[in-house]
Amino acid sequence: MFGNTLGARKRGRKRSRRSSACRTGIVRFKTKRGKVVSFHGKTGAGCAPRKKPSTRHLARYKSALAKASRACKGKRGRTFRSCVSSRM
């Protein structure tokens, strides 16, 4: 009925899931213009999303620009930009 295996289980290699892993290696891709860009980085579905870069070091310039743009409120186009640049 079962052949001559006497109920023995089959032995074989278990395949590991390669696609879900996160591995480091050289990442290569082509840009829209056809240039090949390559760098050392992480690839795979198991990789966490990248951390957003911090722009805290630009806070003094951001606040100065906001202050200048509020002072120049109501002007348009080139006059607004020249007003902001003179106040910066």
- Identity (one letter) of the amino acid at 66? A
Confidence of residue 57 (pLDDT cuts 50, 70, 90): very high
Phi then psi dihedrals of residue 30, to 5 deg: -100, 140
Q: pLDDT tens digits, residue range 18-30?
A: 557 898 999 999 9
35 inside domain: yes
H or E element: which one contains 80? Answer: helix 77-87
Question: For position 50, what pLDDT does the model report?
Answer: 85
74 inside domain: yes
14 inside domain: no
Domain count within the chain: 1
8 inside domain: no
Q: Does the predicted model carry a pTM greater than 0.75?
A: no
Whole domain around residue 72: which residue ranges? 23-46+60-87
The mean pLDDT of the chain is: 86
66 inside domain: yes
Alpha-carbon distances, residue 67 vs 24, 60, 82, 88 (angstroms): 45, 11, 14, 9
d(CA 18, CA 12): 18
d(CA 7, CA 14): 20
Averaged pLDDT, 34-54 = 91
41 inside domain: yes
Question: For position 18, what pLDDT does the model report?
Answer: 54
What token pair was written down for 30?
């082509």
53 inside domain: no
16 inside domain: no
Question: For position 17, what pLDDT does the model report?
Answer: 54
